[in-house]
């Protein structure tokens, strides 16, 4: 399915749903993220693009509570979550489908999805969310009893996204969802990202495939060596000569 010429309108980021302010993150003496600030409005798809090592994955992992920032603030719906741990952040409404999928390879598809719902006790809600995932990813429904490690790369990516959705996130963060996938599967994944967003989920997308990311995103930020060097709508960044030369091969 061909992408639309521009994404559907979304809520403005002026009243940010998720806001990161002056975030610095170190690995020992190495500063991986150098004071970035970004906003994600409710209902938006916002993308972070940049080369390997630019700080994209570190940024979303820090938002998810997996790294502690040296300085800076992270707010969700106006509430500061900078010091919160990963479990608390999931409970507050942020889920991450990590780079490399990180599924439980010895567990079935169904069991992997249940792990995404570990914060829930209501079986009815879990069943509803499972049904939603299987509608988004029919292939997972067909393979619900199959061991995760025997799935194809594309199916494992679907499972990683589905597992993140089982927490009913307010903000879904996707870290390199197209990495290593065949072109036809890349199209499928980005079509599903659009569907998830159209169903009401706000998305923060880290993606090396800048062309596909900017096609689907309402807005984007360009990271270079830990700093934001450019921002704009997806269309503005697609038309930027600097972005075209550095990331789009034009």
The pLDDT, as a whole number, for residue 101 is 77
Q: Which of 114-118, 154-158, 167-171, 226-230 has the highest mean pLDDT?
A: 226-230
> How is the chain split into domains, by residue range?
9-93+169-180+201-250
Q: Taking 50 as the threshold, does the pLDDT of residue 93 lie above it?
A: yes
Instruction: State the pLDDT confidence band at 2, using cuts at 50, 70 and 90.
Output: very low
The pLDDT, as a whole number, for residue 15 is 61
Instruction: State the pLDDT confidence band at 123, using cuts at 50, 70 and 90.
Output: confident
Q: Over the stretch 186-221, which tens digit does the pLDDT of each residue have? A: 999 999 999 999 999 999 999 989 999 999 999 999
The pLDDT, as a whole number, for residue 219 is 97
Give the whole-number percent of the chain exceeding pLDDT 90: 78
Instruction: State the pLDDT confidence band at 105, using cuts at 50, 70 and 90.
Output: confident
Superfamily of domain 9-93+169-180+201-250: P-loop containing nucleotide triphosphate hydrolases (3.40.50.300)
Stated pTM of the model: 0.90
Check: CB of residue 17 under 8 Å from CB of residue 201. Answer: no
The pLDDT, as a whole number, for residue 36 is 97
Tell me what the mean pLDDT of segment 48-71 comes to.
95
């Amino acid at each position: 399915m061909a992408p639309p010429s521009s994404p559907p309108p979304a809520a403005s980021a002026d009243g940010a749903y998720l806001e990161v302010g002056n975030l610095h993150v170190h690995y020992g003496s190495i500063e991986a993220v150098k004071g970035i600030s970004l906003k994600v409005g409710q209902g938006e798809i916002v993308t972070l693009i940049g080369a390997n090592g630019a700080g994209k994955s570190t940024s979303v992992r820090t938002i998810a509570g997996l790294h502690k920032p040296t300085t800076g603030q992270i707010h969700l719906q106006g509430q500061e979550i900078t010091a919160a741990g990963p479990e608390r952040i999931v409970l507050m409404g942020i889920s991450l489908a990590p780079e490399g999928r990180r599924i439980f390879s010895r567990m079935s598809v169904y069991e992997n999805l249940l792990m995404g719902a570990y914060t829930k006790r209501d079986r009815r809600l879990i069943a509803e969310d499972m049904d939603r995932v299987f509608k988004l990813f029919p292939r997972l429904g067909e393979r619900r009893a199959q061991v995760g490690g025997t799935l194809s790369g594309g199916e494992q990516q679907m499972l990683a996204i589905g597992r993140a959705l089982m927490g009913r996130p307010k903000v879904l963060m996707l870290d390199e969802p197209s990495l290593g996938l065949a072109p036809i599967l890349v199209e499928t994944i980005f079509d599903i990202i659009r569907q998830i967003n159209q169903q009401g989920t706000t998305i923060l997308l880290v993606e090396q495939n800048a062309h596909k990311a900017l096609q689907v995103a309402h807005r984007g930020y360009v990271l270079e060596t830990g700093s934001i060097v450019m921002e704009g709508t997806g269309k503005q960044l697609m038309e930027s000569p600097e972005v075209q030369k550095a990331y789009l091969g034009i």
